[in-house]
Structure 1
Amino acid sequence: MMFPFSYFLFFFTLVLGIIISISSPSWFGAWIGLELNLLSFIPLITLKMNSYLSEAALKYFLVQALGSALLISSSLFFISFLFFGSLCVLSALLLKLGAAPFYFWFPQVMKGLMWPQAFFLASVQKLAPLALLSFLTLNSKVILIVSLSAVMSALTGALGGLNLMNLREIIAFSSINHLSWMLMAISINDTLWILYYTIYFLVLLSIVSTFHKIKASSISNILQSSRANSSNKLSISLSLFSLGGLPPLTGFIPKWVLIQVMLNLHLFATLFFLLFSSLLTLYYYLRILTPFILLFNPLMSTNMKNKHSMSTNHLFSSSIYFNLIGILFPIYPIFF
């Protein structure tokens, strides 16, 4: 189910809030943009009136309101306690991002959303806090705290996704794990996190659109869905492997660039935790892929209705081509 045309006003104000936050010369203007973004996203969550969406909207509103209150109250400390004020702003932004140690709300909210809203929460809603966070990384102590949060987010995203069956929760913990790489990229260079965010946005779009197309909410739904034909399964496989950063797919490009930069900066301990967590995330991606790859019978695909194959043709092609960019166009050397 897509958003009705009448909701495009909320899309406009949501994007406008992001633009105001990023381009604002003061923290007060950034706070206004974040509030506009929050109030625009709540109606998009409650598109259908049911208990799951209402609960998710309430949880999201309370957590984001807490982060906004902490952000605006930190202005009191900037006059006399500059570092403490920066620490309060940093905590508020990490809370809004759902990064460790403030990740507790993110999987619960994701679990109650539909796939389009879940995609917005895991990608679009992170853009403004990430951009504001990059403005704070001028102090060595702030960079140290951001790096510590990145390590905790990497381990939390990797360990939290184990033994889960709900696909939205798995994507939520995967988002927390990818957020750790973006936090490390922010502490190093703005270009790195923009590159990582862009590729993560497109890879996540390919996997979420496929899950939305086949109406899958758990691993068992993929096996039972009549829409999960061979093209959709191939698209899901490539997208998940690319999301996990498996070389030489597209999702490996930003990780390879960041690995090279971290090696040059001798950040070996932090890099170890990031790589270890990526291996764990690949494990629970394989838990999704293994059942329907082993149980899939190619002969059954000839009995599928033509409308399924035709309706997934464009989605299948775009997802395949994008996730194979890493193979078709070896562009990695241009970053060094």
Structure 2
Amino acid sequence: MFYSFFNMFFIFTLMLGSILAVSSSFWFSAWAGLELNLISFIPLIISEKNKFSSEAALKYFLIQALGSSMIIFSSSLLLFSFTVFSISLSLALLLKLGAAPMHFWFPQVMEGMMWPQAIILMTIQKMAPLFLLSSSNSIILYLSSAFSAIIGSVGGLNQVSLRKILSFSSINHLAWMLSAILISENILLIYFVLYCFISSSVALIFFFGQFFFINHLTNSKSPNSLKILSIMSILSLGGLPPFTGFIPKWYIIQELAQFNSFILLTILVFSALLTLYFYLRLGFSILVLSSFKIKPLLQKKNKSNYEIFIFMNFFGLFLPSSIILI
């Protein structure tokens, strides 16, 4: 996918549209950046290896077109009331982002994609709407953060598809990022960057092993190092200390406690515990139902390909010692 000239061109214009939307000073140019991002992503979704990719592309186009039309409609509401304009614009951006209660399309679209396209949908496609929400209505962001935390944690409990599990996990992480908008854009940037790295590492591991369902993790003949790395990366994505995924959540927990937002903090923490439950279910299935052998783990060729992901998800283990040294 990534080696074709046309795909590289669409990826370039996709990132250009996101940068244009984020760096824009006017809503019209931000809307133009979102449209450029949408047009560039549609050809990337369609894949000859996946018969559901066309359906996913159509669903994604219709939802994003609806969100874009809501942004245009919101501009007319500015003539009547700034509050109504802010609420309508926030709902349009939440729809394009896939946050609750506008999340209904996100798991279905994720299920129809291959892993490389799913990585783009979980990371780059969230950048522009997320940072545009920094100037939106705070009450809408507060409610959406709470709903996203609940839906993202409860929705992934009964799933067997890894793409749907990661989609509900992404909705839950959106709750933390929306709460970070209420605190500081710097914390939002830290959380978003670490989330992109960790979620991409998990999805790439599933892509290398061609894992799409839970039984693929337990029944595959992939190297045991890949299975163990999957467990560690999944726990890091769930925010289990002392892995890297816990670091941004730690910052947000501290800041919400200082701002006395204990209701939202309680919802986020309990939702994180629920997400850790189905992450641990994945890890438990791999550990108990898979037959492990020690010899493949000692082979350098099976280990060297994933060293960057090991460092990425274990960076939290080295953080306390680095702080002491500083």
Letter in 1 for 2:111: K
2:181 maps to which of 169, 177, 186: 186
Structure 1 residue corresponding to 2:252, chosen from 249, 258, 270: 258
Q: Give the Å deviation of 1:313.
A: 3.2
Change (3 A) 1:3 1:71: farther
User: 2:240 matched to which residue of 1?
Assistant: 246
1:98 is aligned to 98
* 1:328 aligned to which of 318, 321, 326: 318
Partners of 2:51 and 2:256 lie apart in 1 by: 45
The answer for the alignment partner of 2:59 in structure 1 is 59
- The alpha-carbon deviation at position 196 of structure 1 amounts to 0.5
Asked if 1:235 corresponds to 2:229, the answer is yes
The number of residues matched between the two structures is 323
Mapped to 2, the partners of 1:303 and 1:248 lie a distance apart of: 27
- The percentage of aligned residue pairs carrying the same residue is 46
The separation in 1 between residues aligned to 2:7 and 2:152, in whole angstroms, is 32
Seen in structure 2, the aligned counterparts of structure 1 residues 162 and 26 have a Cα distance that, compared at 3 Å, is same
Q: CA deviation at 1:331?
A: 7.6
Equivalent position to 2:273, from 270, 279, 288: 279
Contact between 2:224 and 2:296, CA under 8 Å: does it hold in 1? no
Q: Which residue of 1 aligns with 2:309?
A: 319
CA displacement, residues 72-103 of structure 1 (integer Å, 9 cap, x when unaligned): 11111112311111111101000001111000
Q: Give the whole-Å Cα distance in 2 for the aligned partners of 1:25 and 1:47.
A: 36
Taking the TM superposition and a 5 Å limit, the aligned residue runs for 1:158-173 are 158-173=153-168
The 2-side partners of 1:223 and 1:2 are apart by: 29
TM-aligned CA deviation for residue 49 of structure 1: 6.6
Q: Which residue type is aligned with residue 221 of structure 1?
A: H
| 8 A Cα contact 2:236 2:245, kept in partner | yes
- Say which is worse superposed, 2-11 or 181-190, in terms of deviation: 2-11
Contact 2:50 2:112 in 1 (8 A): no
**Matched residue type, 2:270:** F
SS where residue 260 of structure 2 aligns?
A: coil
Amino acid at match of 2:320: P
The within-5 A match list for 1:52-201 is 52-136=52-136, 142-201=137-196
Task: Identify the residue that residue 15 of structure 1 maps to in structure 2.
Answer: 15
For 1:249 and 1:50, locate their aligned partners in 2 and report how far apart those are by CA, in whole Å.
Answer: 34
CA distance in 2, matches of 1:106, 1:332: 38
Per-residue CA deviations over 1:60-79 (Å, capped at 9, x if unaligned) read 00000000000011111112
Shift of 1:3: 5.0
Give the CA deviation at 1:333.
6.8
CA distance in 2, matches of 1:156, 1:333: 36
Structure 1 contact 257–332 (Cα < 8 Å) conserved: no
Q: Distance in 1 between matches of 2:78 and 2:34?
A: 20
1:2, distance to aligned residue in structure 2 (A): 4.6
Matched with 1:139 is none
Give the root-mean-square deviation of aligned CA atoms: 1.8
TM value normalised by structure 1: 0.92
Quick one: distance in 1 between partners of 2:115 and 2:266?
Answer: 32
1:319 positional shift: 1.2
1:206 to partner: Cα distance: 0.9
Unaligned runs of 5+ in 1: 137-141
Determine the structure 1 residue equivalent to 2:262. 268
Distance 2:86 2:35 in 1: 20
String of CA shifts for 1:173-192, please: whole Å, max 9, x gaps: 00000000000001111011
- 1:53 Cα deviation from its structure 2 partner: 0.1
In structure 2, C-alpha distance between the alignment counterparts of 1:303 and 1:268, rounded to whole Å: 48
1:222 to 167, 192, 217: 217
Partner amino acid for 1:169? K
The one-letter amino acid of 1:73's match is: F
Partners of 1:3 and 1:218 in 2: how far apart?
A: 27
SS of the counterpart of 2:102?
Answer: coil
Q: Specify the code of the residue in structure 2 equivalent to 1:93.
A: L
Distance 1:49 1:39 in 2: 21
Q: Measure the CA separation in 1 of the matches of 2:321 and 2:95.
A: 35
Give matches, 1:33-48, under 5 Å. Answer: 33-48=33-48
- Deviation by residue 1:101-158 (Cα, 9 ceiling, x = unmatched): 000000000001000101110111000001110122xxxxx21221111000000000
Question: 2:162·2:214 contact (CA, 8 Å) conserved in 1?
Answer: yes
Q: How far apart in 1 are the matches of 2:296 and 2:75?
A: 64
Deviates more, 1:286-295 or 1:163-172: 286-295
Could you tell me which residue of structure 2 aligns to residue 25 of structure 1?
A: 25
Distance 1:122 1:158, change over 3 A: same
**Alpha-carbon distance in structure 2 between the residues aligned to 1:94 and 1:154:** 14
Which residue in the other structure is 2:292 paired with? 298
Q: CA deviation at 1:47?
A: 3.0
